[in-house]
Chains A and B, each alone.
Chain A
Amino acid sequence: MNRINTVEELEKKIADCTGCVDSKLTGADEKRHIVLCGGTGCLSSNSKEIMEKFKAVLDEKGLSDKVTVNLVGCFGFCSQGPFVKIYPENTLYRMVSEADVEDIVEQDIINNTIVERLLYVEPVTGDKVSSQEDINFYKKQRRVALHGCGVINPEEIDEALGMGAFQGLKKALSMTPQEVVQEILESGLRGRGGGGFPAGRKWSFAQASESDEKYVVCNGDEGDPGAFMDRSILEGNPLAVIEGMMIAGYAIGASNGYFYVRAEYPIAVSRLKIAIKQAREAGLLGENILGTGFNFDCHIRLGAGAFVCGEETALLNSIEGKRGMPRPRPPFPAVKGLWQKPTIVNNVETLACVPFIMREGAAEFAKVGTEGSKGTKVFALGGKVNNVGLVEVPMGTTLRELVYDIGGGIPGGKKFKAIQTGGPSGGCLTGKYLDEPIDFDNLVKKGSMMGSGGAIVMDEDNCMVDVAKFYMEFICDESCGKCSPCRIGTKRILEILTRITEGNGTLEDLDVLEELSTTIQKNSLCALGQTAANPVNSTLKHFREEYIAHIVDKKCPAHVCKNLMLYKIDPDKCIGCGMCARNCPAGCIERTDYIPEGHKLASFKIDPEKCVKCGLCMSNCKFKAIDKE
Chain B
Amino acid sequence: MARLQEAAVKQIEEICDRYCDEKTPLMMILSDIQNEYGYIPLEVQEIVSAKTGISVAEIYGVVTFYSFFSLTPKGKYVIGCCLGTACYVKGAQKVIDRFSELLGIRPGETTEDGLFTLDALRCIGACGIAPAVSINGKVYPKVETGQVEGIIESYRKEASA
Contact = CB atoms under 8 A, between A and B. Distances in A.
Interface of A: 40-41, 43-45, 77-79, 81, 222-228, 231-232, 263-266, 301-307, 318-324, 339, 380, 382-384, 388-389, 420, 423, 454, 456, 458, 462, 467, 470-471, 474, 478, 480, 583, 585, 614-616, 619-620
B68 interface: yes
Interface residues of B, number: 47
Interface in B133-161: 137-141, 144-146
Contacts of B141: 41, 44-45
Contacts of B128: 41, 77-79, 81, 382, 388-389
B146 A620 contact: yes
Nearest to B85: A226
Contacts of A43: 139
Contact of A45 (B62, B101, B129, B130): B129
A535 to B, nearest CB: 10
Nearest to B30: A304
Contacts of A470: 85, 88
Interface string B37-65: 00000000000000000100010011001
Contacts of A78: 126-129
Contacts of B98: 614, 616
B71 interface: no
Given A78-B129, A264-B124, A323-B62, A44 B139 contact: yes
B77 interface: no
A615 B145 contact: yes
Contact of A614 (B28, B31, B94): B94
Contacts of B140: 44
B62 A321 contact: yes
Nearest to A381: B127
B139 A619 contact: no
Nearest to B90: A383
Contacts of A307: 122
A45 B24 CA distance: 39
A345 to B, nearest CB: 16
B103 interface: no
- List of 4 A-B pairs having minimum Cβ-Cβ separation, nearest first: A78-B128, A321-B26, A44-B139, A225-B84
B83 interface: yes
B88 A225 contact: yes
Contact of A306 (B67, B132, B137): B67
Contacts, number: 153
A225 B67 CA distance: 16
B129 A226 contact: no
A383 B145 contact: no
Interface in B64-121: 65-69, 83-86, 88-90, 94, 97-98, 101, 121
Contacts of A478: 122
Nearest to A262: B125
Contacts of B27: 301-302, 304, 318-319, 321
Nearest to A307: B122
B9 interface: no
Contacts of B89: 383-384, 456, 458, 462, 467
B23 interface: yes
A68 to B, nearest CB: 26
A44 B23 contact: no
A616 B31 contact: no
A26 to B, nearest CB: 30
B101 A585 contact: yes
A456 B25 contact: no
Interface of B: 23-28, 30-31, 54, 58, 61-62, 65-69, 83-86, 88-90, 94, 97-98, 101, 121-130, 132, 137-141, 144-146
Contact of B125 (A265, A304, A320, A462): A265
21 contacts: A40-B126, A41-B126, A41-B129, A78-B126, A228-B127, A231-B125, A304-B69, A306-B65, A306-B66, A307-B122, A321-B24, A321-B54, A323-B62, A324-B65, A339-B24, A383-B89, A384-B90, A470-B88, A614-B145, A615-B94, A619-B146
Nearest to A76: B128
A266 B126 contact: no
Nearest to B31: A302
B65 A323 contact: yes
Contact of A263 (B31, B88, B126): B31
A383 B86 CA distance: 5
Nearest to B121: A264
Which of B26, B54, B84, B144 has its CB near the most chain A CB atoms (within 10 A)? Answer: B84
A380 B85 CA distance: 11
Contacts of A620: 146
Q: Which residue, of B28, B88, B90, has the highest number of chain A Cβ atoms within 10 A? A: B88
A324 B66 contact: yes
A614 B144 CA distance: 12
B94 to A, nearest CB: 6
Nearest to A266: B137
Given A223-B122, A228-B127, A40 B139 contact: yes
A304 B28 CA distance: 10
B6 to A, nearest CB: 27
Among B66, B94, B101, chain A packs the most CB atoms within 10 A around the CB of B66
Contacts of A225: 83-86, 88, 122-123
A382 B85 contact: yes
Which of A303, A304, A620: most chain B CB closer than 10 A?
Answer: A304
A149 to B, nearest CB: 14
Nearest to B123: A225
Among B58, B85, B126, chain A packs the most CB atoms within 10 A around the CB of: B85
Nearest to B89: A383
B66 A304 contact: yes
A240 B67 CA distance: 31
A385 B90 CA distance: 11
Contacts of A77: 128
A420 B88 CA distance: 13
A99 to B, nearest CB: 17
A319 B83 CA distance: 26
B123 A305 contact: no
Nearest to A390: B128
Contacts of A616: 98, 145-146
